[in-house]
Structure 1
């Protein structure tokens, strides 16, 4: 599953003004592009996720069926496969890697879609968490190109509460003396483990912990879950500088900052032409349903469909079959519309 392709972006200038020379966008595709190039779907990755982490929602007989659609999964800038602090040569290596916006990610993906594959129309853009933020951005940046969008467990604008949570994650990473302000040679494992503990209180809901759902996942105690799932998650080939870069991208997400909208998020949402199905999770502590209900009110013809249950943000992670079935059915409805 680790196999992937690379699109050479060349000299890629990001919004902050820095130019990444020899920039690269890692991606993977599933299925075959139709002769008329009319069956393409873009399914971006999420915070620290890689393309194989999206494969739970792709498969024969599912809505994202590679026997019917050509599914492109681009890896976010900063995730360790595309250009990132961990793989970029000096002078933009490690702590000097430039700030990346959601719009930078979509600009890179647009180059891939149009220049590599010659695609002019996308049947669907969908994604979880930060992938949802990229989905919204695609629909705002390229309204004439995106026919349908389905962001799940994510937002068009990062809320203040969400920004505060992310400050805690970044502070935990940086508090490890081994972090060395981003110039470490060995992983700051204490910081990574601390960041995992911060994340643990937010990824799943209070009800998830009250019901000890982690025991159904095979963990024998709360501590076993915190170490086995959460610390294991952050120590699984995830680089601290990459995590900080992607957290900054997440914190500054706002479709209203797209050129032409002057910071007006409502105006940006109103410009979306895609048929839109927005799926927050019932008990998501990052992106609560009321936040996405607000966004849906400003998108012409959009539908809100709340994912029920106690899994919180991780309803969109592919962690349990009930939520997977709900999301798959919703995508099937949208693609049939």
Structure 2
């Protein structure tokens, strides 16, 4: 699927570093109406690209391109927007600067306002790191965002989630082929190891106990671990994964000059009507963390996704979960 690129110029980050000639890749579906009131923003997730978001878009669905103008911006680090893998020296590969969720949202705000002249968003929604961006949008631009529907994600990365990502990073860095980020060939053993690490976290204990992987067409547990999980990460670039893991680990809607680390105040500032959709059995963006946040957001409803798919209840691989999310967003848009 073709995509467009918004040129950001030299984009200064929260860290004080910059991405020279920064690029924000994006796609749009549908038509922006005359008063520009039908815009929906749907950010991508860890390693995901815009094509990976299409499962939640379609005629008759909540995200219906015959009714709404849907913008899918690609996160920095995902290989399409500015990333370690596509940035020229000297900011390439291991020298790609650290990017926050806040940095991503500021870049997306420029796209939305400068490219399209949009001043209000009917909805911001997203899965996982897309949910992190959703919360960040609502806290950073509370007068611009009318509704949010973050699913399987939280407004900050809580400590246990941070620790989980340390294992993902270590799986890459312990492969000798990684060469501190200056590899000439992908560290294939490390990427396969990432898949093995992720397999135990992305899906629930019940998913494995009930052999739900059979519903996805796999013949055995090992077949699933190789075919789904190793295959998933072998398509990725190692430095891109590490860059986005850093972004994920430092996600916090209050970590910016507006809130200066006051997380509860940031949550309380959200004016959007919110539908909070955690995975009931999500092992790292836990429903307990999500419930803490939802209680501190005005006009928020907390509605867990009852699924044994864990975090991947929001990944578009189970039709039952997809319908649950779609129905919830339909209800939110009707309010």
Q: Is the pair's TM-score, using the shorter chain for normalization, greater than 0.5?
A: yes
1:275 to 267, 273, 278: 273
What does residue 217 of structure 2 align with? 218
3-state SS of 1:257 partner: coil
What does residue 121 of structure 1 align with? 120
3-state SS of 1:243 partner: helix
What does residue 235 of structure 1 align with? 234
3-state SS of 1:41 partner: strand
Aligned partners of 2:212 and 2:4: how far apart in 1?
37
What does residue 294 of structure 1 align with? 292
What does residue 77 of structure 1 align with? 76
3-state SS of 1:8 partner: strand
What does residue 137 of structure 2 align with? 138
3-state SS of 1:232 partner: helix
8 Å Cα contact 1:141/1:258 also seen in 2: no
**Greater CA drift, 256-265 or 16-25:** 256-265
Aligned length: 335
What does residue 322 of structure 1 align with? 320
Aligned partners of 1:6 and 1:115: how far apart in 2?
13
Q: Give deviations 1:105-158, integer Å, cap 9, x for gaps.
A: 001100000000000000000000000000000001000100000100000010
Aligned partners of 2:147 and 2:87: how far apart in 1?
34
Q: Does residue 52 of structure 2 align to residue 53 of structure 1?
A: yes
8 Å Cα contact 1:95/1:183 also seen in 2: yes
What does residue 198 of structure 2 align with? 199
Aligned partners of 2:333 and 2:309: how far apart in 1?
26
Q: Give deviations 1:171-203, integer Å, cap 9, x for gaps.
A: 000110000000001111000000110000000
3-state SS of 2:156 partner: coil
Aligned partners of 1:260 and 1:286: how far apart in 2?
27
What does residue 167 of structure 1 align with? 166
Q: Cα offset for 1:31?
A: 0.3
3-state SS of 1:72 partner: strand
3-state SS of 2:19 partner: strand
Aligned partners of 2:99 and 2:230: how far apart in 1?
26
3-state SS of 1:241 partner: helix
4+ long deviations beyond 3 Å: none
8 Å Cα contact 1:59/1:66 also seen in 2: yes
What does residue 108 of structure 1 align with? 107
Q: Cα offset for 1:258?
A: 2.6
Q: Cα offset for 1:290?
A: 1.2
Structure 1 residues without counterparts, runs of 5 or longer: none
Q: Give deviations 1:251-286, integer Å, cap 9, x for gaps.
A: 000112132212111010000000011000110001
Q: Cα offset for 1:44?
A: 0.2
Q: Cα offset for 1:287?
A: 1.2
What does residue 313 of structure 1 align with? 311
3-state SS of 2:124 partner: strand
Aligned partners of 2:30 and 2:21: how far apart in 1?
28
Aligned partners of 2:260 and 2:111: how far apart in 1?
27
Aligned partners of 1:155 and 1:216: how far apart in 2?
28
What TM-score results when the alignment is normalised by the length of structure 1? 0.99
What TM-score results when the alignment is normalised by the length of structure 2? 0.99
